[in-house]
Amino acid sequence: TQGKCAELKVNGTDDIAIGDYLATYSEAGIAGKARPGDMVFAIALEAYATDDSLGVIDAYILPWRFPFVDRTISGITLANGANNDIDTSYKEFLRITGPTAAFSISGFTKGYDGAVLTVYNSVAFDMTITNDATSTAANRILTLTGADVTLTGVSVANFRYSSTDGRWILLGTQG
């Protein structure tokens, strides 16, 4: 798919797209970063094309996808009560610790199309999954029930991110 990528910039300002040919930009200028799930990859075709060795390069953006997600189990400490916009750090599995009473989650950061997230509540207190509220809109959760979902004690919830809906979709729960 052709299209501009807001995360990869030429000299830090201009968006570049798949198929763009970039010439005479500094290596540092092209070195914008792509997030996990971004559909771009830059290849330097000519490094140091000038005699002054200033690092002028040409690059071509290819439509490749790389699995940048972190598949390790990550512990995350949450608080009692509401927990909004929880940073996933591109993890696929979050193990919740911390709450000493009932708590809720309303959304997760770093969602990209197709991202999968398993949340394991390892504490003995109820976890409520808030339906489409509180967190930043693109980080929110759709429970598909039209209401909040409460899991009792130790439990698991599985989510998948839909860029079409701009939400995490609750796929299933246990506990």
Residue 77 φ then ψ, to 5°:
-95, 120
CA-to-CA distance for 13 and 163, rounded, in angstroms?
25
Cα separation values, 142 from 82, 145, 155, 158, Å: 16, 8, 18, 12
pLDDT for 153 equals: 96
- Residues of the chain scoring pLDDT < 70: 1-69
pLDDT of residue 77: 96
pLDDT recorded at residue 73: 81
Q: What residue ranges in 78-175 does DSSP mark as E strands? A: 81-83, 91-97, 103-105, 116-121, 127-129, 141-142, 149-151, 155-162, 167-174
pLDDT at 112: 87
